[in-house]
Homo-oligomer: A and B are copies of this chain.
């Protein structure tokens, strides 16, 4: 296995080029967050780091390729979240643990939401590469959640009609999408800590069957 990074012509690149590539990725992330995917132009990304569009195309075939890379990086940041999802949540400590998970998830989301939005859009529009990245990221959490849910079903705390895999997906779905509503919910009195506590209560209930 190699960690080498390649230019579009297939060559391994050196440290100067690596720095340029990194700056391009950072600029892409920055402009994506500021302007959104629909107004993201390669010219702007290049200008942002005072280079020419040709340089961008030296490292990426198109903007999607750069965003795909950013999405992979986001997946790395998502990995530590599974530490919060080990079986054994009890009625006594489960709610606190759920809260810790949600807190961590919210931080992750805040850091990467602009990229994750595009990842999800492209995945849902059928792009193979973005689907792969998203599925891999989601399975990280879903596998852990599934185990916990299976425990709950086996112990009779959860109804047998709950499919563990689908339920795990529903939990991830709820986290992802609810955070997307945040800005609008704020206008109606639902602040960050309300969202955190409610999400935690729901996840605790869904996973353990306790209320």
Q: Which of A's residues lie within 8 Å of B, judged by CB?
A: 36-38, 113, 117, 120-126, 131, 134-135, 138, 158-159, 161-163, 165-167, 169-170, 173-174, 176-178, 180-181, 183-185, 188-190, 194-195, 197-199, 201-202, 205-206, 209, 211
Contact = CB atoms under 8 A, between A and B. Distances in A.
Which of A125, A158, A180, A185 lies at the interface centre, i.e. has the most chain B CB atoms within 10 A of its CB?
A125
A121 B126 contact: no
A178 to B, nearest CB: 4
Contacts of A131: 184
Contact of A159 (B120, B178, B201): B201
Contact of A163 (B113, B123, B166, B197): B197
B206 A163 contact: no
Contact of A135 (B138, B159, B184): B184
13 contacts: A37-B121, A38-B122, A117-B121, A126-B183, A134-B184, A161-B198, A163-B197, A166-B178, A166-B190, A169-B185, A173-B178, A174-B177, A205-B206
A73 to B, nearest CB: 20
Contacts of A173: 173-174, 176-178, 180-181
Nearest to A161: B201
5 nearest CB pairs, A to B: A173-B177, A36-B125, A177-B177, A166-B198, A173-B178
Nearest to A199: B170
Contacts of A177: 173-174, 176-177
A46 to B, nearest CB: 19
A123 B113 CA distance: 13
